Amino acid sequence: MEELKIYTYIAVFGTFGLYFAIAIWARAGSTSEFYAAGGGITPMQNGMAIGADWMSAASFISMAGLIAFLGYGGSVFLMGWTGGYVLLALCLAPYMRKHGKFTVPEFIGDRFYSRTARIVTIVCLIIASVTYIIGQMKGVGVAFSRFLEVEYDTGLYIGMAVVFFYAVLGGMKGITYTQIAQYIVLITAYTIPAVFISFQLTGNPIPQLGLGSTLSDGSGVYLLDKLDLVVTELGFKEYTTAKMGGTLNMFAYTMSLMIGTAGLPHVIMRFFTVPSVKAARASAGYALIFIALLYTVAPAVGAMARLNLMNTIEPVAGQNLEYEARPQWFKEWEKTGLLEFEDKNGDGKIQYSADAATNEMVKVDRDIMVLANPSIANLPNWVIALVAAGGLAAALSTAAGLLLAISSSISHDLLKGILTPDMTDKTELLVGRIVMSVSILFAGYLGLNPPGFAAGTVALAFGLAASSIFPALMMGIFSRNMNDKGAIAGMCAGLGITMLYVFQHKGIMFIPGTSFLGSMEDSWFLGISPNAFGVVGALVNFAVAFAVYKMSKPAPQEIKDMVDNFRSPHGEVAVAHDH
């Protein structure tokens, strides 16, 4: 274990040193650099930074864990998040980039010629971003507590300090170059263990192909067929056909994640860091390639992790593992409280099944699957250490992007844009750094004291963005006549009904280690779960907006001309630097 600890310290603190060095080199000297990196990032660099911003602790740590336990049902995350990125790249980012403003509230305030619309967007943005950041903070705490053997709280404080240093000092410029480094760390950390494990199980080193290959034990049985057999023998649903609720819920969940993705402000902001609309489109293409490198591997990681877990606990069919003979990785994760065993029948063996009354694995937190996978497969210590560094890189990169979105919405949109328009560039930069510092402290507090609804925070954040920000952006770009009253009413209605539904049903959110189907499922609207409700909120947003618009005057002519201008493929508008 000492060897593993040494490797882990080298990997984690070596990457932290790299992030610090980049932050010092790329520190922001103006608001343009703080909010948009001066608009001088190349498309390939921006693509990598988007990849890191995009692939949060949810993508790196949680997604494969969810796929491991949900099987086919977990594909909603792959389809929703990837589809949403395509939607963002094609329908939103180029037009907003051509308009040439730093932030989402600024765009909506301009398009709907209303300070009220800008304030409502700021509120929506902060609610969605803060909800999302809780999940990142949990990822930081979990990774630190396991691999550096410190308390969860201590790990969270260290993570806060690291983000504070490079995000507050560097702003978007520092964050961008740091995220490029973090992308390289996280994709390497995710892919190398997957290659090892795929080769172990199937003899094929390419995980995407290994998932559809036969096992290397000479049986001729396909990996997924074997997994189906193992899980159904223990009473679980068949891995390759299991759904999350009904078909409508699967569809709603995918759509909610998809349109929520397109409305997440911290990703949209990245398209203002490149010098032109053409570069924004190119960086979207690069980002999709970089994201696909992880997203196409995730199903293989999830399936292989589940099979390895089953084989560890039940090494021979029908024969349970003696608890005293449990492997070292099992003991290490028990210390974190994320893996718990209770000997219900007193036989000293680990009984693992779908029946809650007899299942003695009383807690298997889905978030441990990717982090524990290399240990379960007996991979070398340096690979395990690399995964620790990758998980932290994923959580920290997204946390930094979210913090910048929150900071800019308050300092640039609320203070500079509305309350104190005479603020100088230098003062705004200082205020931006102060607001980000306060945001980090607040995010840390939520990580230490997560609210009751935090179990489904990531999916909930996407639902909130889907129901509030996405419809306003779509109507702002593709409806020349949509007016301020309609947009404001729509955002309030969409966000309001989604939050009401979520809080009403918060007892059965997607809680790791429990059944997806809760006792209150009968009260779900058309069988749609709280985390999938964002799409309903979006429909309400559109409906209310158009109803109010029909009862009031359409947008003035100069606004229609502005829409025509940023929808026109001709001409470029640089990011505004005169703030």
Query: Domain for residue 146, yes or no?
Result: yes
Beta-carbon contacts of residue 328 (< 8 Å; ≥ 6 apart): 1, 375
Handedness of CA 337, 529, 264, 117 (dihedral sign): negative
pLDDT tens-digit readout, 229-243: 888 887 888 888 877
Residue 568 domain-assigned (yes or no): no
Nearest-angstrom CA–CA distance, 534 and 47 = 27
Distance between CA 524 and CA 513 in Å, rounded? 21
Per-residue pLDDT averaged across 114-137, rounded? 83
Cα–Cα–Cα angle for 127, 129, 135, nearest 5°? 110
Instruction: Please check the confidence at residue 472 and state whether its pLDDT lies above 90.
Output: yes
How confident is the model over 547-558, as a mean pLDDT?
Answer: 92
Does the residue 228 lie in any domain? yes
Question: Which class for 552: exposed (0-12), middle (13-18), buried (19 or more C-beta within 10 A)?
Answer: exposed
pLDDT at residue 259 in the model: 92
| 344-350 mean pLDDT | 81
**pLDDT > 90? residue 541:** yes
Q: pLDDT: is 28 or 456 the higher one?
A: 28
Cα distance between residue 103 and residue 254, in whole Å: 26
More confident residue, 477 or 272: 477
Q: For the chain, how many structural domains are there in total? A: 1
Identify the three-state secondary structure at position 214: strand
CB 175 within 8 A of CB 166: yes
What is the rounded CA–CA span in Å between residue 105 and residue 413?
7
Question: Do 48 and 288 contact (CB within 8 A), yes or no?
Answer: no
Residue 205, domain CATH = 1.10.4160
Gyration radius of the chain's alpha carbons: 24
Is residue 7 within 8 A of residue 554, CB to CB? The reply is no
- Predicted local confidence at residue 486, as pLDDT: 95
Q: Which of 207, 152, 191, 120 is CA-nearest to residue 413?
A: 120
CA nearest 343: which of 359, 328, 332?
359
Instruction: List 222's β-bridge partners, or say none.
Output: 214
Q: Would the pLDDT of 453 be above 70?
A: no
**Whole-number pLDDT of residue 208:** 92
- Our CA angle for 449, 450, 453, nearest 5°, is 150
Mean pLDDT across the stretch 114-121? 88
Length in residues, the chain:
579
In a domain, 493, yes or no: no
The DSSP code for 42 is: -
Range of lowest pLDDT (195-199, 265-269, 299-303, 469-473): 265-269
Question: What percent of the chain has a predicted confidence (pLDDT) above 70?
Answer: 88
Token match 């449990």: residue?
326
Segment 448-455 shows an average pLDDT of 56
On average, the pLDDT of the chain sits at: 81
What the block records as the tokens of 561 is: 């001309």
- Confidence bin at 518 (pLDDT 50/70/90): very low
Question: In whole angstroms, how far apart are CA 566 and each of 78, 110, 196, 284, 468?
Answer: 31, 12, 48, 18, 22
- Model confidence band, residue 549 (pLDDT cutoffs 50, 70, 90): very high
Four-residue CA torsion sign, 374, 375, 378, 383: positive
Q: What are phi and psi of 509, to 5 degrees?
A: -75, 175
Asked if residue 159 is part of any domain, the answer here is yes
- What distance, in Å, lies between the first and last C-alpha atoms of the chain? 54
Q: What are phi and psi of 151, to 5 degrees?
A: -65, 150
Owning domain of residue 418:
2-306+379-458
Q: Which residues contact 554 (CB under 8 A, 6 or more apart)?
A: 481, 482, 483
pLDDT above 90 covers a percentage of the chain that reads: 15
Q: Is the pLDDT of residue 140 over 90?
A: no
Structure tokens given for 10: 């080298």
Task: Please tell me the pTM assigned to this model.
Answer: 0.81
Q: Residue 318: what pLDDT?
A: 58
| pLDDT band (50, 70, 90) for residue 565 | confident
CA distance 93 to 434: 28
The 3-state DSSP class for residue 31 equals helix
Q: How far is CA 202 from the centre of its chain?
A: 30
Residue with token string 């649903």: 237
For residue 148, being part of any structural domain is answered with: yes
Residue 514 lies in a domain: no
**Which H/E stretch holds residue 363?**
strand 363-364
The encoded tokens of residue 214 equal: 């036969």
At 315 the pLDDT is 55
CA distance 119 to 130: 16
Is residue 328 within 8 Å of residue 346, measured between CB atoms? no
Burial degree of 54 (CB within 10 A; 0-12, 13-18, 19+): buried
3-class secondary structure per residue, 114-180 = CHHHHHHHHHHHHHHHHHHHHHHHHHHHHHHHHHCCCCHHHHHHHHHHHHHHHHHHHHHHHHHHHHH
Distance CA 473, CA 471 (A): 5
Q: Is beta strand 363-364 parallel, antiparallel or unpaired with respect to 339-340?
A: antiparallel
Lowest mean pLDDT among 8-12, 113-117, 127-131: 127-131
Q: Which tokens hold the place of 481?
A: 């006549």
- Position 519 in a domain: no
Q: Does residue 506 have a pLDDT over 60?
A: no
Q: What is the DSSP letter of 59?
A: I
